[in-house]
Copies of this chain bind each other. A is one copy, B any other.
Amino acid sequence: MPLYGAIEAGGTKFLCAVGSGPHALSAEARIPTTTPSETLGRCIEFFRAQAPIAALGVGSFGPLELRRGASNYGHITATPKAGWSHTDIVGPLRAALGVPVAFDTDVNAAVLGEARWGAARQLETAVYITIGTGIGGGALLGGELAHGLVHPEMGHLLLPREPDDLEFAGVCPFHGGRCWEGLASGPAIERRVGQRAETLPAGHPAWDLEARYIASGLTSLVLILSPERVILGGGVMQPALFPPVRQYLSRSLAGYVQADALLHGMNDYVVPPGLGAQAGIVGALALAERAAR
């Protein structure tokens, strides 16, 4: 079995791993996100100390330039993360390690990992949403990761207000209370109730509102992308949220799409990540596996 390298590049840490699959990660490192040169330098040191890898996959915070023909392909572009705007990620890694480097968003990596080894196995079209400090989404569409002008920024899709939440101003610095992240991210819950989502008791009415907003966002995603399955992860997505999200999604779709999975199979349609918290790093491994082909 060939070995691959994986980097989950986040704003606070870069997670590095070597392995051949989700249950065969032979080495891992957690590198704090400091300056680009220091952080990437430590990643390179890590991989040089391991057995040779056939390819490297990087799932990264963004925004990213993913168009192959662009002069800045493989860079992080204009990011709020201080010091990281216009950072070449692919170039230094490829030059130092001499292997093919696959590069995509952290959430696209996650959906690929789920399709390869997790909750979306054998599916060609699936969506992965993470709901936490922000809301982000990745998509596998007909077997390929979603790219275009840039890459999806699904967390900012626009949503109708729930009738019992008309006054809330929202927390998105760009779209206020018009977008998903502005209405349903962890900070939106915290702003409404004055305490962190993680500390809210199970019966708190904020959870019902949260489930309705998650279901509304999924409604638009289902109608636009027609995924075969939707995977929901992130710090806000506690197990107790799944049943009401499924119910509200059924109500919101209102039987419009005549598909068994939506009419009778909602429990298998909206699911947690099969890879749990490892979706990101294992997804980067799946990116590497694709790059090696």
Residue A157 at the chain B interface, CB threshold 8 Å: yes
Give the interface centre of A159, A222, A225 by most chain B CB atoms within 10 Å.
A225
In contact, B153 and A261 (Cβ under 8 angstroms): no
Q: A147-B226, A220-B224, A254-B174 in contact; A159/B156 too (CB < 8 A)?
A: no
Residue A125 at the chain B interface, CB threshold 8 Å: yes
Q: A158-B159, A158-B219, A225-B152 in contact; A258/B77 too (CB < 8 A)?
A: yes
**Cross-interface CB contact of A144 among B142, B154, B253, cutoff 8 Å:** B142
Closest beta carbon of chain B to A233's beta carbon, Å: 18
Interface residues of A in 128-168 (CB under 8 A from B): 137, 139, 141-142, 144, 146-154, 156-161
- How many residues of chain A have a CB within 8 Å of chain B? 49
Closest beta carbon of chain B to A126's beta carbon, Å: 8
Interface residues of A in 206-252 (CB under 8 A from B): 216, 219-228, 252
Residue A259 at the chain B interface, CB threshold 8 Å: yes
Residue A262 at the chain B interface, CB threshold 8 Å: yes
The docked-state distance in angstroms from the alpha carbon of A224 to that of B217 is: 11
Residue A255 at the chain B interface, CB threshold 8 Å: yes
Closest beta carbon of chain B to A167's beta carbon, Å: 13
In contact, A149 and B256 (Cβ under 8 angstroms): no
The docked-state distance in angstroms from the alpha carbon of A220 to that of B137 is: 13
**Cross-interface CB contact of A223 among B144, B156, B161, B227, cutoff 8 Å:** B156
Given contacts A142-B142, A142-B148, A221-B224, 7 further A-B contacts (CB under 8 A): A147-B226, A148-B226, A148-B228, A149-B226, A153-B226, A158-B159, A158-B220
Can you list 21 contacts pairing A with B, beta carbon distance less than 8 Å? A125-B148, A125-B149, A139-B224, A141-B146, A144-B144, A146-B225, A146-B226, A149-B227, A149-B259, A150-B226, A151-B226, A152-B223, A152-B224, A153-B257, A157-B157, A158-B219, A160-B161, A174-B253, A174-B255, A221-B224, A224-B224
Interface residues of A (CB under 8 A from B): 63, 77-78, 124-125, 137, 139, 141-142, 144, 146-154, 156-161, 174-175, 178, 216, 219-228, 252-259, 261-262
